[in-house]
């Protein structure tokens, strides 16, 4: 396949057809090359950093991606209006959309990426596997036929043998992907995968693959140019995943030997040359325990995890993209590429790891990044995290001379990062990095599933509850003012009830005559002596140890971070009891997050049992099934398919009753 339709000519202003941290990342390299930069934005992103830091910015539509960041005609019009002569797609949205690449070319714009033909050929998983097979790349056995009927798909799955993987042909990122362990579960998994694929990519077609048990997820970064040059930049290990989406990436992989690296790199470069591919790309492989590797897919774009490759090679991958798009030859040869040290990246996501990684949205009340690590983000204190886009809000990257040094720096960086106001996976990421399995370089794609309970067992002890009670007391505007070394004529006592990450605690806070504080909580007593208190930190002594914690008081809410573990605390002392259970135990099923209704699975009058799926909601590009909290009869359905709902809205009402 030829790639001769890539458009090469000088360009001077780049429109970034994306949002958030990747938009800022592209702008940074473009400006270093002396290029102007243009941002686009939806109504939800009007006041974001990527908009304010661009030379120009153009509104392209409403909040939903289909009405803005996926609106090809609006983006082309924005480029024309701003005078941009090139478009960088970033990753996600239209980055691997051949129609978009062709529309840019037809409009006289340089598309900073491969040709439309290359994108389309590799964007279809079934077709890509055939191309790679002909190029000599090993592939996973499976089915990718045109007959997509339920009956044929089940027969083919049984031929392959369970467990099998269902994959959407049109995309990635874990959407439209299901692991099925037995034939009985296949029909429901197939329906769900198709529904998610249709919503995410506009194409419900899927393929089947043999599920390789406990593999490593290894990808090879490649580049090609218009002059026939092709190189690889080594591998990245992306095995730590949840819901088939990467959370931690590193380079080099602890499981790849120099010999295997050379072999995989040689295969990847051969594929690039066979495609006559131009620009950045990534070949993704599954690596089994015996060292066998199998092609999964090719991403025809920049990857989220590209910073780890930049860290160990010293190359700017966005700059390479821009230079190749201008028709320049790659400035480095394979023999010039040297790897130095080790790099690890984590994806900070606005999600609740303790509740099945449920996406979270809302206001980031305080955002502070640490020193000593690279943080890619587009956040600031007071920024809104909208419910319409991917849950990843930042990337934290460390580099060290050794893997252990990089791991230690990353843990330290995460401990110092502050993200108050929206629940994130910050503590979960630290738990992963500290786990002996990850520390030993043994993590496969089964890592989170195998160790989930351990990883979620975060350090939340009675001391943290006591510290939260103390902070609620000393930051209360009606509390006696604190002064270092000040003694009192009498003691002051406060009885309080607080909620820490969903669990209620009763405690007693006493300020003693010598100025110290006694907090009784969960049957234990903790004595604190305050050394310093300001609007962001508290410094105190406890059992002879001087310690510090960060906090933010916001009305009856307190955000606390002690030794890197964030806690969300609510003062319930004067709060009314909650009127109804949020888990549907009162018969009312409530939306767990802001999102769009993609499937109503019951009808009014249907009998349902506890745990039965009743509605599917899509939020931040993932489907979330909502289930009945009681046995009974569906009395009302309060939403319709396609409707956008807010968190807490009642979607289905069930009248209690025995189901016969």
Residue 231: other Cβ atoms inside 10 A: 21
185 to 178, 182, 290, 431, 618: CA distances (angstroms): 10, 6, 30, 32, 21
Bridge partner residues of 538 (DSSP) = 533, 549
163 upstream amide cis, omega within 30 of 0: yes
Positions annotated as catalytic residues are 301
Q: In what order do the strands lie in the sheet with 392-400?
A: 293-299, 279-287, 216-224, 230-242, 245-251, 342-349, 392-400, 374-377
Q: Is 526 helix (H, G, I), strand (E, B) or coil?
A: strand
Among 592, 588, 604, CA closest to 640 = 604
Q: What is the DSSP string of 320-334?
A: HHHHHHTTPPPS--G
Q: Which of 231, 381, 373 is CA-nearest to residue 313?
A: 231
Residue ranges of E strands in 279-354? 279-287, 293-299, 342-349, 351-352
For tokens 């941009």, the residue is: 84
Contact 173, 308 (CB under 8 A): no
| Number of helices (H), then strands (E), in the chain | 16, 39
Distance CA 636, CA 37 (A): 51
DSSP 628: -
- Euclidean distance between CA atoms 355 and 351, whole angstroms: 9
């Amino acid at each position: 396949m030829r790639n001769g339709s890539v458009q090469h000519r000088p360009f001077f202003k780049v429109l970034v057809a994306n949002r958030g941290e990747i938009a800022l990342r592209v702008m940074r390299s473009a400006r270093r090359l002396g290029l102007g930069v243009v941002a686009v934005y939806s109504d939800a992103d009007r006041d974001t950093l990527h908009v304010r830091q661009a030379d120009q910015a153009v509104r392209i539509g409403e909040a939903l991606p289909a009405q803005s960041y996926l609106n090809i005609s609006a983006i082309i019009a924005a480029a024309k209006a701003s005078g941009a002569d090139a478009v960088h797609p970033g990753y996600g949205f239209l980055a691997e959309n051949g129609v978009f690449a062709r529309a840019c070319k037809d409009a006289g714009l340089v598309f900073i990426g491969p040709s439309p033909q290359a994108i389309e050929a590799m964007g279809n998983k079934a077709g890509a596997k055939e191309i790679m097979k002909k190029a000599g790349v090993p592939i996973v056995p499976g089915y990718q036929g045109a007959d997509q009927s339920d009956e044929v798909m089940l027969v083919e799955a049984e031929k392959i043998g369970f467990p099998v993987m269902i994959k959407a042909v049109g995309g990635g990122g874990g959407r439209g992907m299901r692991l099925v362990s037995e034939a009985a579960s296949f029909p429901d998994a197939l329906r769900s995968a198709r529904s998610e694929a249709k919503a995410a990519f506009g194409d419900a077609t899927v393929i089947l693959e043999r599920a390789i048990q406990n593999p490593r997820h290894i990808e090879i970064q490649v580049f090609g140019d218009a002059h026939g040059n092709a190189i690889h930049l080594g591998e990245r290990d992306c095995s730590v995943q949840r819901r088939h989406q990467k959370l931690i990436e590193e380079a080099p992989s602890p499981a790849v030997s120099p010999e295997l690296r050379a072999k995989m790199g040689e295969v990847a470069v051969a594929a690039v040359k066979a495609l006559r591919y131009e620009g950045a790309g990534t070949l993704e492989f599954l690596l089994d325990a015996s060292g066998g590797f199998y092609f999964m897919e090719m991403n025809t774009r920049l990857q989220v995890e590209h910073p780890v490759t930049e860290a160990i090679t010293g190359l700017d991958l966005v700059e390479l993209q821009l230079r190749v798009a201008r028709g320049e030859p790659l400035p480095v040869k394979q023999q010039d590429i040297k790897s130095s040290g080790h790099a690890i990246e984590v994806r900070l996501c606005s999600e609740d790891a303790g509740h099945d990684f449920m996406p979270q949205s809302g206001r980031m009340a305080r955002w502070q990044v640490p020193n000593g690590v690279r943080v890619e983000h587009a956040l600031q204190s007071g920024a809104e995290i909208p419910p319409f886009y991917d849950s990843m809000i930042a990337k934290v990257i460390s580099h060290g001379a050794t893997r252990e040094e990089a791991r230690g720096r990353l843990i330290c960086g995460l401990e110092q990062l502050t993200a108050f106001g929206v629940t994130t996976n910050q503590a979960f990421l630290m738990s992963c990095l500290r786990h002996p399995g990850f520390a030993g370089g043994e993590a496969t794609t089964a890592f989170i599933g195998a160790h989930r309970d351990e990883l979620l067992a975060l350090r939340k002890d009675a001391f943290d509850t006591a510290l939260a009670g103390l902070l609620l007391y000393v930051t209360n505007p009606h509390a006696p003012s604190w002064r270092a070394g000040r003694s009192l004529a009498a003691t002051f006592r406060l009885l309080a009830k607080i909620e820490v990450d969903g669990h209620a605690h009763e405690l007693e806070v006493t300020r003693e005559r010598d100025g110290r504080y006694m907090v009784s909580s969960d049957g234990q007593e903790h004595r604190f002596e305050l050394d310093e208190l300001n609007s962001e930190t508290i410094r105190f002594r406890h059992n002879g140890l001087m310690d510090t914690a960060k906090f933010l008081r916001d009305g009856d809410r307190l955000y606390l971070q002690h030794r890197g573990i964030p806690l969300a605390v609510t003062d319930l002392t004067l709060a009314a009891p909650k009127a109804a259970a949020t888990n549907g135990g009162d018969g009312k099923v409530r939306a767990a997050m802001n999102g769009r209704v993609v499937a109503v699975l019951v009808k009014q009058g249907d009998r349902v049992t506890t745990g039965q799926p009743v509605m599917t909601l899509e939020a931040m590009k993932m489907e979330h099934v909502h289930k009945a909290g009681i046995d009974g009869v569906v009395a009302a359905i309060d939403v319709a398919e396609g409707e956008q709902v807010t968190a807490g809205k009642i979607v289905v009402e069930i009248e209690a009753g025995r189901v016969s």
